[in-house]
Amino acid sequence: MGDKTLTVRRANQGTMQPKPEQENVLLHAQQQIAFQRIMMQPGVMATTVVCLTQVVTEDELRDDEEYEDIMEDMRQEGGKFGALTNVVIPRPSPNGEPVPGLGKVFLKYLDTDGSSKARIGMNGRKFGGNEVVAVFYPEDKFEQGDYGA
């Protein structure tokens, strides 16, 4: 074009199956989109479950000791807002399979009073240099172990 040489190659050259880490990135991106849809719905009702993102990394969750420290931190921080009944932090699978909800923290409260305080209190806070996003999560999905929404 003009006085420049334009090089063109086939986009499918060397096509191969995506690597497990690429699948995880894709799955994570899809989860974030679904997550934002839930978050942006007008009139979202408060639930007893708060989902936190931008809190933990996959590498932190692989290490058993670090995972236990994170669980304890989440119990302590989450407990400041109300009575916690459960804390779930999905971990990476040892074989590299994609894990729904990886990188999220789920805090289940006894009532919506505690979860509402937690959502307001934790949203926008810094954790490990990242700004936490806290939203209500559907109780039915949480109870079914469906952490991918």
pTM of the complete model: 0.71
> Of 42-46, 55-59, 71-75, which gets the smallest average pLDDT?
42-46
* Partners of 87 in beta bridges: 107
Which of 5, 43, 14, 30 minimizes the C-alpha distance to 102? 30
Percent of the chain residues past pLDDT 90, beyond the cut:
45
The identity of residue 116, as a single letter, is S
Pairing of the two strands 133-137 and 49-53: antiparallel
Q: What is the pLDDT of residues 75-110, one digit of tens each?
A: 999 999 999 999 999 998 888 788 889 889 999 999
Name, in order, each residue with C-beta under 8 angstroms of 130's C-beta and a sequence gap of 6 or more. Answer: 54, 55
Q: What is the pLDDT of residues 27-44, one digit of tens each?
A: 666 666 665 555 555 556
